[in-house]
Structure 1
Amino acid sequence: MTLSSAVEVRVRAYGFVRVGGPEQESFLEVPVPEPGPGELLVRVRAAGVNPGDWRLREGSYGELRAAVFGREVAGTVLRLGPGVTGFAPGDEVFGGCPGMVGGWAEQALVTAGFAAHRPDGVSPAAAAVLPVAAGTAYDALTQLALPAGATLLVNGAGGGVGVPLLQLARLRGIRVVGTASPAKHEFVAALGAVPVAYGDGVVDRILAAAPQGVDGVFDLVGGDALRAVATLVPPERLFSVADKALVAALGGRDVVRDRSTRVLAALARLVAAGELDPHVTEVRPLSEAGAALALVERGHARGKVVLVP
């Protein structure tokens, strides 16, 4: 991935100038990205907001450089990088953004191998939020490989990954028990799961909801909440994307992301068929990017937040 050396053509973007807190965020004028091998340049129509954005700003991923926010977008293809096939200028696509040149911009790069054509029945906002949260949920269920009729515990069921996961599990005939704050119990139940409250006694409440036990655990919380439920399943049935170090210490596993066109196309078909609702609840202009990220960082977003340049 490279940035164009041309300085006369620049686009507006939102990112951070150095690692730290929200005070490091800023609107930027950046060169139009040049698509490298295996990349697409798209005119962004919608971009997803994720916890990974503020974690990147804080340096949680070990990257200490300035960057443009945004890990997923939907947009119109402008140019193809070398070796890209299956796409053409003018195509409506969605997918994941490579590296540090993110999608909160007027134009952005998309990894061609982690991109798919956007069906007519799927809005740019709905498509833009599929690669990260829904993609993680899809991959988790694939790797858990639970059969229809099995019971899955989702630790933190009311969050960004939990919402698509509950829906995808229901489509596979998997029964879900989901821990969530009391304020989200009605929402979790509406998605087809049995909600239980966090905190002391959580294992007893889980077993009351699933007297035969659970066949798998997918953790989205980490820390003490993960420790509390880890004993419910053998280590090979324990997954977490929230606390990679702890789940490994407990003998469990992280979810290995597929990040393929195949997965994105499958998710888009489910959205188009009305079987998967990405739950986009906030659509804001790029000019409100800071406020949108603050909403996600404070944990106050109920559903997915999208920016529109």
Structure 2
Amino acid sequence: MKGLFCRVEEGETEPKFIIQETTLPDVLGSHQVRVQVKACGLSPLDLKLLRDVGVQTDLVPVGREVAGVVLKVGPKVTFFQPEDEVVGILPLDSLCSGLCEVIDVDECVLVGKPEKLSAACAAATLRDGVRAYTALHTHAGIAGGHTLLNFGLMCIQLAAHCGLKVLATSSSAEEQAFLEQLRPAVGLQEPLVARVIPVFNGSSDLLSAVLEETGGLGVDAVIDSGVCLFMEDKQLEEKFLPDKHDIISMLSVGGQWVTSHQDLQLDPPDCRLLFLKSASVCFLNPEVWTTSSAQQGRYLHILKDVVEKMSTGVLRPHPQEAVPLYEAVVAMETIQRQPGKTAVVQL
């Protein structure tokens, strides 16, 4: 049985992805299930994060978002039975590659897959769904009637479903049209986004547009997908990234800024402005759920709710064509060079 692994050798600037032969143990663990993988999601590897949490191996398994069918269960497994369809995210320290035909995984990281939801769709979007839930519910503390500025499709849909007024940015004319036409699959067919702010070709000033839309009060929460630390770096960025001072300026009193920027630096004037608004900054690390078992029940609840909302159409990802297994290495090399890009492999 073969799987996809990442090897980083000293002196090499880029990781190398290889197909490696692997085997499963003869005896299944007490709380483990053996799963036949039907689809596996691919996303960029954060090798620095792996080192920081103490995961250091010569070969790092690739492909952690999996969907499949249970073949066999351990003697103490209570959640699943053979032939159950499941979906989940493998832990950071997992020894299995999700691109293996069969894997052994602990039952506490899996949830049942609704029959209406395809394996490919579940594997492709599970990570984004968990990320959206973590940002909105765990960090931002959203409530109906709040105003949100967001930069991701899954967060937009989840926030609108929860009754928030959503503002979003568009980096192209095509994205502008897509977001303006976005409607819920169920319920009232009103736009999900209250206002789409163009940020391409210098077509809009984000800060002034947000303040205009909120009557000068600012938004209750901002969830970014990156931030520009220094104004002189803006011209070097391939995609639009909001300025950190602009984000703080557009927050309302008591607002929350949820950032994905690992190396965020705030100057004293920025901190003073946060203090004056009694606003706060928190960091979004979706991997925290699989690195600690302190809130395992809450994590499983999030996983279950994400797949249920995907099956009912509340969360609808961009259509994504599945990649065949023999193209997995090339796909992963492309993903690693282009942060934010993902793929799904059909097995």
Same fold (TM over 0.5): yes
Please say which of residues 292-301 and 73-82 is displaced more in the overlay.
Answer: 292-301
In the alignment, which residue of structure 1 is the partner of 2:197? 196
Alpha-carbon deviations, 1:52-79, whole Å to 9, x = none? x3x33xx453144221201210011123
| Corresponding residue for residue 7 of structure 1 | none
Matched, 1:213 2:209: no
Match of 2:249 among 212, 224, 231: 231
Correspondence for 1:185 among 176, 192, 197? 176
Cα deviation for residue 38 of structure 1 reads 4.2
Q: Does 1:26 align with 2:18?
A: yes
Q: Which runs of 5+ in 1 are unaligned?
A: 1-10
Q: Are residues 164 and 82 of structure 1, via their aligned partners in 2, closer, same or farther at CA, if it must alter by over 3 Å?
A: farther
Shift in Å at residue 252 of structure 1?
1.1
RMSD: 2.9
In structure 2, relative to structure 1, the CA distance for the partners of 1:293 and 1:248 (3 Å cut) is farther
Question: Per the alignment, do residues 266 and 60 of structure 1 end up closer, same or farther by CA in structure 2, a change over 3 Å counting?
Answer: closer
Residue 131 (structure 1) shift: 3.2
Q: Which residue of 1 aligns with 2:164?
A: 174
1:88 to 72, 78, 81: 81
- 1:274 and 2:279 are equivalent in the alignment: no
TM-superposed deviation, 1:246: 1.7
CA deviation digits over 1:84-134, x for unaligned, max 9? 311122211000112243312222344422311111101001121343110
Shift of 1:231: 3.2
Structure 2 partner of 1:43: 36
Partner SS, residue 278 of structure 1: coil
Distance 2:249 2:104 in 1: 43
Q: Does the aligned pair in 1 maintain the 2:120–2:344 contact within 8 Å?
A: yes
1:16 aligns with 2:20: no
Contact 2:172 / 2:198 at 8 angstroms: preserved in 1? yes
- Distance change >3 Å, CA 89–CA 12, structure 1 → 2: same
Q: Structure 2: give runs of 5+ residues left out of the alignment.
A: 183-191, 230-241, 272-279, 290-294
Q: Tell which deviates more after alignment, 248-257 or 222-231.
A: 248-257
Q: Identify the range of structure 1 (68-77 vs 123-132) with the bigger mean alpha-carbon deviation.
A: 123-132
Aligned AA (2:197): V
**Is the Cα–Cα contact under 8 Å of residues 71 and 132 in structure 1 kept in the other structure?**
no
- Which has more radius of gyration? 2
Secondary structure of 1:237's aligned partner: strand
Corresponding residue of 1:121: 116
* Partner in structure 1 of residue 50 of structure 2: 61
TM-score under structure 2 length normalisation: 0.72
Query: 1:132-151, aligned counterparts within 5 Å?
Result: 132-143=127-138, 144-151=140-147
